[in-house]
Amino acid sequence: MKNTKRLTGRVTIFFALIPTAILTGCGGAFISNQQQQPPPSTDPDARADAMLARMTQKQKLQLVMGGVTSNLTYGYTVPRGAGGWVPGIPSLGIPALYLADGSVGVDAGVGQATVLPSAIANAASWDLNEATKYGTVIGTELTDYGINVNLGGNVNLTGREPRDGRTFETKGEDPILAGKINAAHISAIQAQHIIGMMKHFSFNDQESGRATANVVIDERGGRESDLLAFEISVKDSNAQSVMCSYNLTNGVYNCENSHLLNDILKTDWSFPGFVMTDWWAVTDTVAGPNAGLDQEQPNQLYFSSLGAAIASGAVPQSRLDNMVHRILRAMYAAGLFDYPQTIQPIPAAADAAIAQEIEETGAVLLKNSASQLPLNAASMQSIAVIGSHADTWVLSGGGSAQVDPVGGGIHGPQPCPPCWATVTWVPSSPMHAIQALAPNAHLQYADGSDADAAANLAASAQVAIVFVNNWGSEGMDQTTLGLTDYVDTTPINQDALVSAVAAANPHTIVVIESDGPVLMPWLSQVSAVLEAWFPGQNGGPAIANLLFGVVNPSGKLPITFPASDAQLPRPVIPQPPDDITPFDVNYIESYNVGYKWFDSQGLTPLFPFGFGLSYTTFSITNASLTNNLSSASNPNLQVSFTLANTGAVAGSEVAQVYLGLPASLNEPPRRLVGWQKVPLQPGASQSVTIEVDENDSSHPLSYWDTGSNAWTLGAGTYTVYLGDADNAATLQTVGTFTVTP
């Protein structure tokens, strides 16, 4: 059953037991073979062809499937603790591939590593420099562990299904923001000479019945939403691998879907690298390769018969040659032949500091009545800290993206039978960090299991800081966006806990550690709310710095926070009838994902996409539009304005440019087409110009025309908007322009 996944125990060999010569890969055991390499060239295709010409059929077949020969779907053993492995061919100097997850840090099976804040927290920074740092941490640590293929780059658009248990791995709901952040991650990972990946291609937006869900979507809707996020990811990053997903699209399994793999990915987008299956996401020996699939992982359930399928003519020899060419060219392009890895300790302290910065730039301040925050350390005499193990740990996401934190994780009770993964807490104490910033305050902690005791503690303190959490993991979805009753030694109704504390103390601050959006029935009762996501290895100090204004919050929501489940396109997540029968998930919203759905339906969310407060205030003035669309070489729009920090402290604002297409095109009321994050000292202002290039991979001005099968600039009048400072949902019109037929 291909949706069965290993739980634990996959890793039975630790690198400490492996001789150094093997660990150093081509730097050690393969050195003599490197003399047999084709002459160095910058052309990975030419080098791949030269290598291919020297390979036997057996050697070719070895490269297109995982090295795991058992049929086990869990508990298998792979060198270096990797999730997958393709043995090298020493006689030709071809290094082995070691594949490991790494969406928010190095896969737990590989070894202890830096837990980065959720990928969605990084998207909330709206900052490609921060995204590059994020990818660099993952790439550096993978290479230090001797891993050379990263199974990261999750860019499924979660706004379609924000209850998806993998929301924390994604980059939110907007195809352009998600695509750009994902591309920055992949580029930074590949800069470490590791093959980067984007996944799960495509429309893998819910975990419920993920192996049998048949997504039904129209071509234009797909091209302008999930597929656009992938298109940007692959074009901007030059990603060398793609993972096809378990689910079906319009009736065809994605790993056998020629329209997705051959027509769109390899032809329209000119993707030169290779497509591998998600784990066991293959159902046939012939259909996948003929549809554009290049590698089966992690084992050889179907591809062990590929040689026979080629001999019989069912799969052409030219297809196998192309599969091998694509894998080899990815290895050359990423530098696997030219940059042998050195296994060494990860730079844990430096990377923890980056993890802290990522959290500080990605946390989103959602409410701050009467300037409750930042807390004034000098005047703090007593603070009640309540709930979510805030005395010792912060929460992390589960499943294949789980990282084993530096210092070891703490495993909590399962919140759901059946969960695949265990709840893992990261050793970083918000309470201790708060105490360090307010050394004179009397700090007390209540675990929240007794709401009355927590309320009594809150009543006796100057401020109460309640930590709530909503765990997320691969292999499960939430049934509701509401905070789940948190399972601990005693189950905790977290909504009731917040209300009880807020009733006892008018200065109640809520810190949310969640997979993604949550409902907040107590919102009007509390004075401040900070969305901290899963805050990573140094989550404690980062949260404390944000609460006390050592750092000014600057994150903006990359995903809409709905006011209820009923506002979603599918108020109830479609469920599979059984484990094998495909069932339809109708994407009635088409390209109207996330805020586009809310706009098109006239719905008011709890917090809109792009929203996030600061401890200072900003103004946007003198906005103007320059239309350079007639330029043949660089058709673009330029949106210019003055951004000023009108408050008393330094801060960063994200200016957001949206476009309304002509009504006749029936597009969403607005789409994000550009943004810039600008740091400003108090009283300072800056002239900003955001350029929107029509030739960019994001096709910002165009729609997908199914008649011509191409991105097309439609005729009619377009309107350019700037999101208001502090509330992107409030738009000011910058100008209009007309495209004539």
Q: Which is nearer to ligand BGC, 279 or 618 (CB)?
A: 279
**Shortest distance, position 39 Cβ to ligand BGC, whole Å:** 35
**Shortest distance, position 523 Cβ to ligand BGC, whole Å:** 34
Q: Which is nearer to ligand BGC, 48 or 276 (CB)?
A: 276
Greatest Cα pair distance in the chain: 81
Q: Which is nearer to ligand BGC, 207 or 693 (CB)?
A: 207
Q: Which residue has the tokens 């966006």?
A: 481
Q: Using DSSP bridges, classify how beta strands 508-514 and 463-470 pair: parallel, antiparallel or unpaired.
A: parallel
Q: Which is nearer to ligand BGC, 163 or 199 (CB)?
A: 199
Q: Which is nearer to ligand BGC, 393 or 471 (CB)?
A: 471
**Shortest distance, position 299 Cβ to ligand BGC, whole Å:** 12
- DSSP code per residue over 382-417: EEEEESTTTTTEEEE-BSTT---BTT--EE---SSS
Report the run of H or E that residue 171 belongs to, with start and end.
Answer: none
**Shortest distance, position 239 Cβ to ligand BGC, whole Å:** 14
Q: Is 366 exposed, middle or buried, given 0-12, 13-18 or 19+ CB atoms closer than 10 A?
A: buried
**Shortest distance, position 297 Cβ to ligand BGC, whole Å:** 8
Burial code (b: 16+ CB inside 10 Å, e: under 16) for 277-301 equals bbbbbbebbbbbbbbbbbbbbbbbb
Token digits of residue 485: 């009753």
Q: Which residue has the tokens 């440019």?
A: 657
**Strand order across the 364-368 sheet:** 364-368, 528-531, 508-514, 463-470, 382-386, 442-446
Q: Which is nearer to ligand BGC, 114 or 400 (CB)?
A: 400
Please give, one letter per residue, the 3-state secondary structure of 13-36: CCHHHCCHHHHCHHHCCCCHHHHH
**Shortest distance, position 109 Cβ to ligand BGC, whole Å:** 8
374 upstream amide cis, omega within 30 of 0: yes
**Shortest distance, position 144 Cβ to ligand BGC, whole Å:** 20
Token digits of residue 581: 């029968």
**Shortest distance, position 357 Cβ to ligand BGC, whole Å:** 26
Report, in angstroms and rounded to the nearest whole number, the Rg of the chain calculated over CA atoms.
26
**Shortest distance, position 205 Cβ to ligand BGC, whole Å:** 13
Q: How far apart are CA 74 and CA 319, in angstroms?
A: 30
**Shortest distance, position 416 Cβ to ligand BGC, whole Å:** 17
Please give, one letter per residue, the 3-state secondary structure of 591-612: CCCCHHHHHHHCCCCCECCCCC
How close are the terminal C-alpha atoms of the chain, in Å? 53
**Shortest distance, position 107 Cβ to ligand BGC, whole Å:** 7
In the complex, the residues that contact ligand BGC under the rule CB under 6 A are 5, 83, 101, 151, 199, 278-279, 400
Q: Which is nearer to ligand BGC, 83 or 448 (CB)?
A: 83
Q: How far apart are CA 277 and CA 296, in angstroms?
A: 5
Q: How far apart are CA 545 and CA 551, in angstroms?
A: 5
Q: Which is nearer to ligand BGC, 279 or 658 (CB)?
A: 279
Q: Which is nearer to ligand BGC, 199 or 266 (CB)?
A: 199
Q: Which is nearer to ligand BGC, 3 or 484 (CB)?
A: 3
For residue 527, give Cα distances in angstroms to 56, 372, 516, 595: 69, 6, 21, 26
Q: Which is nearer to ligand BGC, 5 or 677 (CB)?
A: 5
Angle at alpha carbon of residue 167, lines to 226 and 577, rounded to 5°: 80
**Shortest distance, position 83 Cβ to ligand BGC, whole Å:** 4
Q: Which is nearer to ligand BGC, 110 or 547 (CB)?
A: 110
